[in-house]
Chains A and B, each alone.
Chain A
């Protein structure tokens, strides 16, 4: 856990989150492990359906699906959040069917108790859709006050609002701060709402900011400005970042290490610049596919695969149906892809790949 003698802010080991959809078990997160060091930046990239949002929601305890998170170790600053949850869930496989048994209420209770002191104070989150994350009935000022008072455990703010919030507000570079404060969320544009979300997240002075696709819904110019704002604030306050996106270029711009996820598993993990910007650094065929799309522009890609969520088929590599590499290999080698699911192997100092035929 301690690498180079420092405790990681967030350490996740073998996280598994399943949910049920119409008699089918969807393994949306199936054994994810990563860690975020203080001051470091980690990115999680992947398509929609790869489980990236569910990962962070499970970590934050906001996952409401059933059964939800069923196993995994999560440590925040060395504190074990999954303490007391060992015996509450169990997965068995019998006759081709999977039986998941979990005491949902007890899990929720214990996890909530464990993560409550950290939520907002050590970790905080910025969500994808700014408009629906803000309550439409209250002005911005009221919502900031509410968050602030709940962070201070309900004590009254005696003029504290001006001291605590206004500096942060000025930093966010709004056009007209006074007007924004007394406005309702529906009166704001997308970029402004996302900045408010950032302010709300930063109120508790967290050590780690988790951003779940914060700029996907925004226009191009707004995205540029918001991303730059994120970058500068994080640099100024020396915060760590866990950034989720499907835009590889954006991820490469912001983070140091990136995890590429596909259908619930990490398929490649390594330094962002090496993997993404210089295209030869990536070793997994999926990363290469994503990069091809970016480079070749939209509308001209050769590969046109769909993610089919055939949930229970657990045999073999999950990417095999779309894998360009497998198509080009001999059938003899390809059989290994069909029978065994590849594990995440280390191929160099910071670089892990989950493929039997890593190209190097």
Chain B
């Protein structure tokens, strides 16, 4: 008997139709891409129902509260880690502004080393305990100089605090290390308290990053639609007419297609921006004009190959007008897939253009937010080694561009179009 896995079994019963659909070429890519896009779009609906999550000016620059995302903080200075039991000891004076001044040069060998790192964020309603312990300096005493209401410190250095809901905001805490007081050994840091935990943190103006991401989809994706809406009719017009009517029309339109395909996209967009005061819609319209030639060429080739078929002659024999033949017989069925896949490619490219423009501060402006704008706002964060406001928009840009290209690719594979 041959090996089991090489047998092919056929029977007269009905095939499982889902299996058959799923096994078709290109379906997996399309499903994956659609899932990603659907998530992005659904979030918009959720946030729209919960608008006040966007603005929370009291909690600026708050890193993510999620413990799994805290590795994104490359070198945070202090943190108050939520503890329920046990203790955290150690203060790292380094990283705190002015910390180096606290130590005379001679004492550098004996400076304390941290074992845990404190954070800047706290959420209202939770209790926090912080033990400040100076290693090798067991006999120090601490005193709070400046602290939010409700925070107390024991002489041995245990800070404890439960922020109340009304206490949302940013507070400075200053802790004096008594034997060294007066010599500038004052420890100061900021704590921002938020009413609700921000899953992805907040940016420098206090907006919740997750909310920014979700609402930013609107401004990143919608201008791309303008490019698509401009590009489709142009490509159908140029390509369809060039393919169907031969002769002079075809010559002129083909040269027109070549002309447009020679135009540099970004330069034209900048020029348009300069003329129209960097209105994103105008720039996207120009992007549509710049990108249509490739699709027009494909449509023209398709029409040319179908034009010689006898069913076109049969349609003419029936008395149908040229325009109807072109639209219904040829384009409606045959141009749908290439045009649709091309739309997705334009959308992907439009997202990238928008990010480029916003990074140069020529795209979306305040108070609107888009992913590119988020990157622009936090472009200096790399130096400060706080990556989270850059990381999340970059991830979403990557995912959405990849999703659109995957959709286009999956569509092509599914309908067996080669070489787009």
Contacts and interface: CB of A to CB of B under 8 A. Distances in A.
A88 B8 CA distance: 11
A67 B10 contact: yes
B19 to A, nearest CB: 14
A83 B15 CA distance: 33
Nearest to B6: A103
B11 interface: yes
A23 B12 contact: yes
A104 interface: yes
27 contacts: A20-B10, A23-B13, A24-B12, A25-B10, A25-B12, A66-B10, A87-B2, A88-B2, A97-B11, A97-B12, A98-B11, A99-B9, A99-B10, A100-B10, A100-B11, A101-B7, A101-B8, A101-B9, A102-B7, A102-B8, A102-B10, A103-B2, A104-B8, A105-B6, A106-B2, A106-B6, A312-B12
A24 B405 CA distance: 39
Interface string A185-221: 0000000000000000000000000000000000000
Interface residues of A, number: 19
B18 to A, nearest CB: 16
Interface string A68-92: 0000000000000000000110000
Contact of A98 (B6, B8, B12): B12
Contacts of A312: 12
A313 to B, nearest CB: 12
Contacts of A99: 9-11
Interface string A104-148: 111000000000000000000000000000000000000000000
Contacts of A87: 1-2
Contacts of B14: 23
Interface of B: 1-2, 6-15
A211 B2 CA distance: 36
B10 to A, nearest CB: 5
A24 B15 CA distance: 11
Contact of A67 (B6, B8, B13, B15): B8
Contacts of B1: 87
Given A97-B12, A312-B12, 4 more contacts: A24-B12, A67-B8, A87-B1, A106-B2
A100 B2 CA distance: 15
A287 B80 CA distance: 99
B5 to A, nearest CB: 11
Given A87-B2, A88-B2, A103-B2, A66 B12 contact: no
Contacts of B2: 87-88, 103, 106
Interface string A6-30: 0000000000000010011100000
Interface in A309-341: 312
B312 to A, nearest CB: 20
Give 6 nearest A-B pairs by CB, closest first: A103-B2, A97-B12, A99-B11, A100-B10, A104-B8, A25-B12
A100 B8 CA distance: 9
A23 B10 CA distance: 9
Nearest to A23: B14
Contacts of B8: 66-67, 101-104
B103 to A, nearest CB: 77
* Residue from B1, B7, B13, B15 with most neighbouring chain A CB atoms (10 Å): B7
Contacts of B11: 97-100
A23 B14 CA distance: 6
B15 A23 contact: yes
A328 to B, nearest CB: 35
A345 to B, nearest CB: 31
A87 B6 CA distance: 13
Nearest to A104: B8
Nearest to A100: B10
Contacts of B9: 99-101
Contacts of A100: 9-11
Interface string A245-273: 00000000000000000000000000000
Nearest to A96: B12
B308 to A, nearest CB: 13
B13 A97 contact: yes
A89 to B, nearest CB: 10
Contacts of A20: 10
B301 to A, nearest CB: 19
A104 B9 CA distance: 10
A254 B379 CA distance: 88
A220 B376 CA distance: 79
Nearest to A103: B2
Nearest to A312: B12
Contacts of A101: 7-10
Nearest to A98: B12
Contacts of B12: 23-25, 97-98, 312
A60 B6 CA distance: 24
B6 to A, nearest CB: 6
Nearest to A105: B6
A97 B13 CA distance: 8
A67 B13 CA distance: 15
Contacts of A104: 8
Nearest to B2: A103
* Residue from B2, B6, B9, B10 with most neighbouring chain A CB atoms (10 Å): B10
A86 to B, nearest CB: 12
A136 to B, nearest CB: 15
Nearest to B15: A23
A239 B12 CA distance: 43
Interface in A22-64: 23-25
B47 to A, nearest CB: 48
A25 B9 CA distance: 13
A14 to B, nearest CB: 21
Contacts of B6: 103, 105-106
Contacts of A106: 2, 6
A138 to B, nearest CB: 21
A28 to B, nearest CB: 14
Nearest to B11: A99
A117 to B, nearest CB: 25
A146 to B, nearest CB: 26
A127 to B, nearest CB: 23
A231 to B, nearest CB: 35
Contacts of B10: 20, 25, 66-67, 99-102
Contacts of A67: 8, 10
A66 B8 CA distance: 10
A154 B9 CA distance: 39
B306 to A, nearest CB: 18
* Residue from B1, B12, B15 with most neighbouring chain A CB atoms (10 Å): B12
A103 B15 contact: no
* Residue from B11, B13, B15 with most neighbouring chain A CB atoms (10 Å): B11
Contacts of B15: 23
A103 B3 CA distance: 9
B54 to A, nearest CB: 55
A88 to B, nearest CB: 7
